[in-house]
Amino acid sequence: MAVLSISSDAKLAMAEACEVLANGDLVALPTETVYGLAADASNGLAVARIFEIKGRPSFNPLICHMSSITMASHHVTFDAVAMQLAQAFWPGPMTLVLPKREGTTIHPLTSAGLDTLAVRVPSGFSRQLIATFNRPLAAPSANTSGKISATTARHVALDLGEKIPLILDAGPAAIGLESTILKPTPQGVELLRPGGLSAEDVETVLGAPIIRKQQPGAAIEAPGMMRSHYAPGAPVHINASRICAGDAIITFGGQTLDNEERAAIRVDLSEDGNLTEAASNLFDFLKAADDATNGAICVAPVPANGLGEAINDRLVRAAAPRH
Ligand code: TXA
Ligand code: MG
């Protein structure tokens, strides 16, 4: 792991960071809120590495960091209210959850297969880096899952230093609190996560109250993790060993299922049994399977170690009874 100080050589930090990101590896970088663990958001294997390194037991959707409203507009659609908020508060500690645009290059793992994407334009060096790299960066806070968000390069180094090639140091994060997450809806703007931008400031710009999804002090339920977000149209059978004619098969590591010659589609998350590859294919394959079958989606067992835990979490949600 290398630590590069932005104040001592910004040019070197920029060049090294772009090179690491282009190679599909991760960079810990300062934003005004907290330090982020960043990957090229269009590279599924790189995004899978984020989950692996954080040790996240589930695929929480990630925030996609943009250099400008223009860059964001290639990937999501803004209605009038979203545009008003973006113009008022970007760059800054505000994230907007917006409908994904058809044809976006953002990898489905970044948004955990949802049809919305969380986007933010950060201020400072990270914004310049995104502009230079010329691609959005997916970045959760740069800490092991369940630990407190890192606000200094030293925190990142102590926690994740052995697992990542590059940490950029710009001193303590100015805000030290994650971004405020807002979702514009036809009923009004929902506050999904309180953060570094106050609700009052948002309401002043909107001229209307925001909708609080969360009682103050209540345990924070990660937004975007609700079970209903995760259901394909077809029923899902996990740990399947056989199928009915017309079902879709999602297998792993070359496993075969009984009756599989009668499948509508058969895809293998990773023929080599590589869980990082499997994670990057999961959401695409669930969608392809859902589109191909009028029956069920039968999923072969996936090992539960490493990223397999998050893959199984996602599959269990997909297989849960619907209401
Ligand atoms: O300040 C921040 O927001 C930092 C810096 C690095 O930008 N990032 C951060 O990311 O806090 P993370 O991954 O720790 O939190 C992202 C939150 C999660 O609670 C996730 O569920 C939510 O954003 N989220 C992401 N995409 C979503 C979506 N499409 N719908 C609803 N919630 C979403
Ligand atoms: Mg976090």
Whole-number pLDDT of residue 232: 85
pTM: 0.90
Whole-number pLDDT of residue 273: 97
Of 65, 90, 109, 141, best ligand 1 pocket probe by most atoms within 8 Å of the beta carbon: 141
Name which residue sits closest to atom 30 of ligand 1, judged by CA: 224
Kindly give the parts of the chain with pLDDT less than 50: 220
Calpha distance 203→244 (Å, rounded):
54
Task: Tell whether ligand 1 has an atom less than 6 A from the beta carbon of residue 191.
Answer: no
Residues contacting residue 19 through CB under 8 Å, at least 6 positions apart: none
Whole-number pLDDT of residue 317: 84
Of ligand 1's listed atoms, the one at least distance from the Cα of 65 is: 7
Name which residue sits closest to atom 22 of ligand 1, judged by CA: 223
Whole-number pLDDT of residue 148: 86
Task: Tell whether ligand 1 has an atom less than 6 A from the beta carbon of residue 92.
Answer: no
The β-bridge partners of 251 are: 268
Whole-number pLDDT of residue 218: 53
CA distances 70 to 21, 97, 119, 257, Å, are: 21, 16, 12, 47
Of ligand 1's listed atoms, the one at least distance from the Cα of 181 is: 23
Calpha distance 167→2 (Å, rounded):
6
Whole-number pLDDT of residue 214: 61
Whole-number pLDDT of residue 58: 86
Task: Tell whether ligand 1 has an atom less than 6 A from the beta carbon of residue 118.
Answer: yes
